[in-house]
């Protein structure tokens, strides 16, 4: 981080840091958007299943992501206090917490997913798509949460462009995987709306792979 002295310098630095964060957030939610749009090309039931799954997934992800993002102020405070040796410990604890939360959410989902979907007035096909879309997303929840810990770590250091570049790379990868698994292209099985969940799951692993060198 650079020391700023004038208001103009502060605004410039704030903009440089903020813009990549904004792009990163848009890109992450863009994956769900493209899941829904591309599933719609596979049929109305596929679209409905993915839309219902997304409506359940997004609030859960948003809430838990808020917890994981607490690593940013912790790292920033330690960096400001010149306690660099404690940063690695804090990030590792954040990773452990992210894995624990993923396990808890997965366990809760096993018990509550069917009862929640049974309350909705939807066809068996839509229920099937929504259920397995969420299950495949759930399989990718560990890399997604760990990615967000590493993202919060580098953001706290002011290196917000790193996460932005990873997400900008991941978005077209997600679209390619959607094309493959929703429509059965390039040798992949045709899974319809469930394929959108598979695509997102694989994209989370790819994103983590390209972000993991940032581990302190």
Sign of the Cα torsion 143, 144, 145, 147 reads positive
Residues 57-97 have pLDDT tens digits of 888 888 888 888 888 888 888 887 888 778 888 888 989 99
Assign 208 a pLDDT band (cuts: 50, 70, 90).
confident
Q: Determine what percent of the chain is predicted with pLDDT higher than 90.
A: 28
**Which residue did the predictor score with more confidence, 76 or 99?**
99
Which run of H or of E encompasses 29? Answer: helix 7-40
- When pLDDT is averaged across residues 131-142 and rounded to a whole number, the result is 91
Q: Give the separation between CA 37 and CA 8, rounded to whole angstroms.
A: 42
Name the burial class of residue 57, with classes exposed (0-12), middle (13-18) and buried (19+) by CB atoms within 10 angstroms of its CB.
buried
For the chain, give the mean pLDDT. 86
The per-residue pLDDT for 132 is 94
Assign 3 a pLDDT band (cuts: 50, 70, 90).
low
Separation in Å, CA 126 to CA 133, 195, 196: 10, 14, 14
Of 15-29, 48-62, 123-137, the one with minimum mean pLDDT is: 15-29
The per-residue pLDDT for 185 is 92
Assign 27 a pLDDT band (cuts: 50, 70, 90).
confident
**Which residue did the predictor score with more confidence, 99 or 157?**
99
Q: Give the separation between CA 29 and CA 77, rounded to whole angstroms.
A: 28
- Residue 109, token pair as written in the block: 């989902």
Is the pLDDT at 5 greater than 70? The verdict is no
How do the domains of the chain map onto residue ranges? Answer: 7-214
Residue 189: DSSP 8-state:
-
Q: Helix, strand, coil proportions of the chain in percent (round to 5)?
A: 85, 0, 15
Residues 152-200 have pLDDT tens digits of 888 888 788 888 888 889 999 999 999 999 999 999 999 999 999 999 9
- When pLDDT is averaged across residues 123-152 and rounded to a whole number, the result is 90
Q: Which own/partner contact pairs does 127-130 have at CB distance under 8 Å and 24+ positions apart?
A: 127/49, 128/49, 129/39, 129/45, 129/46, 129/48, 129/49, 129/50, 129/53, 129/192, 129/193, 129/194, 130/48, 130/49, 130/50, 130/52, 130/53, 130/56, 130/193
- Residue 172, token pair as written in the block: 């077209």
């Amino acid at each position: 981080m650079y020391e700023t002295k004038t208001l103009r310098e502060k605004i410039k630095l704030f903009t440089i840091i903020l813009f990549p964060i904004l792009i990163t957030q848009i890109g992450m939610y863009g994956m769900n958007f493209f899941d829904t749009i591309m599933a719609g090309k596979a049929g109305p039931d596929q679209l409905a299943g993915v839309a219902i799954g997304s409506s359940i997934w997004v609030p859960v992800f948003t809430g838990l992501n808020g917890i994981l993002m607490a690593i940013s102020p912790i790292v920033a405070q330690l960096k400001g206090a010149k306690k660099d040796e404690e940063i690695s410990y804090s990030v590792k604890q954040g990773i452990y917490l992210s894995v624990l939360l993923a396990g808890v959410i997965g366990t809760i989902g096993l018990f509550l997913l069917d009862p929640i979907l049974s309350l909705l007035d939807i066809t068996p096909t839509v229920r099937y798509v929504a259920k397995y879309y969420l299950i495949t997303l759930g399989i990718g929840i560990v890399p997604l949460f760990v990615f967000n810990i590493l993202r919060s770590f580098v953001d706290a250091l002011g290196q917000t462009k790193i996460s932005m570049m990873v997400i900008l790379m991941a978005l077209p990868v997600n679209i390619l995987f959607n094309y493959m698994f929703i429509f059965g292209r390039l040798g992949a099985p045709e899974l319809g709306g469930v394929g959108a969940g598979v695509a997102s799951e694989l994209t989370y692993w790819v994103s983590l792979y390209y972000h993991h060198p940032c581990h302190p």
